[in-house]
Structure 1
Amino acid sequence: GYVTKLNAAAQTNAALAQKTIEEIIKTEKGPVFNLAAQIFNHTFYWESMCPNGGGEPTGKVADEIKASFGSFAKFKEEFTNAAVGHFGSGWAWLVKDTASGKLKVYQTHDAGCPLTEPTLKPLLACDVWEHAYYLDYKNDRAAYVQAFWNVVNWKHAEKCL
């Protein structure tokens, strides 16, 4: 998969082998970027979920969601609409824009990653590539995104603030 292919590329490129995944995402283009970004995106996606997750967040994440979106319900609606409505393959993210200090919903297409934007700090990711949901939900992306809310790892999001 992605890791095997990126490791193979790093074996033939000493400079690449010295970079972190984040550095590769910020500096590389083409296939190497795609591999690194998909490794990061998938890892972040898995960290964005946990058993016994879901519900409304508490603490600092809840405060920042309310300050940025007005309410958790408005945030959830905006995120859900972005995830369900994304055309084709990609990702829905909750990010913190360090320039404005606000949280926002952000979409990336294919292997796109918020790390390419210097002021964006990812907090949550939802994979909206069809392979993420097809076995369980067929082509019903909306049902998959609704189920995602039952496992959101708010502790991870808060740690990323």
Structure 2
Amino acid sequence: MSFTLPSLTYPYHALEPFFDEQTMKIHHTKHHQAYIDNANAALADLPEFSNLSIIELIQKLNNLPNQKKTILRNNAGGHINHSLFWKFLKKNTTLQGSLKDAIEYNFSSISFFKDRFEKTAISHFGSGWVWLIKQYNTLSIVSTANQDNPLMGTDISGTNGYPILGLDIWEHAYYLKYQNRRLDYIKSFWNVVNWDEVSAQFNQV
């Protein structure tokens, strides 16, 4: 089984003016596709791993041969991270219900949650991701380096939990529109969060 690029459920211009069409197209068809191609190439001579789902694979990185571990950590990680990211994006949805209650319970208020998320993102050095994760019915905000994912476990990603929301803070995600204004990009994220999908993830795990 080879990994394939997931289709988006919306056109590339759907998130304008917050996430621009050109960046979305390049991000999806070039960057994400490259992670998939590299992961598939690395798995070509690993039949015992090639039939795993992407989540199963990143949870078994420590079982990989040493010469394959880093390339699959980076590229299988890039595939799962972006596959999640596209689902988290949609304009004009509303934070409500049990997810809203849980965020208020864990972070005191929605505004404090957003502030904490933004500060985690802006203070992360270099490339990586910021996540809202759920673990044992507790919500936490964490960041991971490069293409690491919390599902990889603490020994690899430095954290552990199920990501229910994530923001890509690699420069390729925002540089065409925002240049070095990472904070502007981070703040724009709230205009395109698909709270319906985040709520579904929250209730699923």
Question: What residue is the counterpart of 1:22 in the other structure?
Answer: 55
Amino acid at match of 1:46: W
Report matched runs for 1:36-115 at 5 Å: 36-53=76-93, 57-98=95-136, 101-115=137-151
1:114 partner amino acid: P
Gaps of 5+ in 2: 1-33, 62-68, 155-159
Correspondent of 2:73 among 3, 10, 33: 33
Give RMSD over aligned pairs: 1.3
Q: Which residue of structure 2 lines up, in the alignment, with residue 153 of structure 1?
A: 194
TM-score between the two structures when normalised by the length of structure 1: 0.92
Q: What letter is aligned with 1:75?
A: F
String of CA shifts for 1:103-136, please: whole Å, max 9, x gaps: 1101001111010238511110000001111000
Q: Note the alpha carbon deviations across 1:79-124, whole angstroms, 9 max, x for none.
A: 01111111100000011122xx211101001111010238511110
Describe the superposition over 1:43-65 as per-residue Cα deviations: whole angstroms up to 9, x where unpaired.
11111111324x5x101110110
Are residue 4 (structure 1) and residue 37 (structure 2) matched? yes
Task: Name the % identity.
Answer: 36
Query: What TM-score, normalized by structure 2, do the two folds share?
Result: 0.73
Number of residues of Structure 1 aligned to a counterpart in Structure 2: 157
- Preserved CA contact (<8 Å) 1:24 1:33: no
- Distance in structure 2 (CA, Å) of the matches to 1:116 and 1:2: 17
Deviating 4+ runs (over 6 angstroms): none
Query: What residue in structure 2 maps to residue 130 of structure 1?
Result: 171
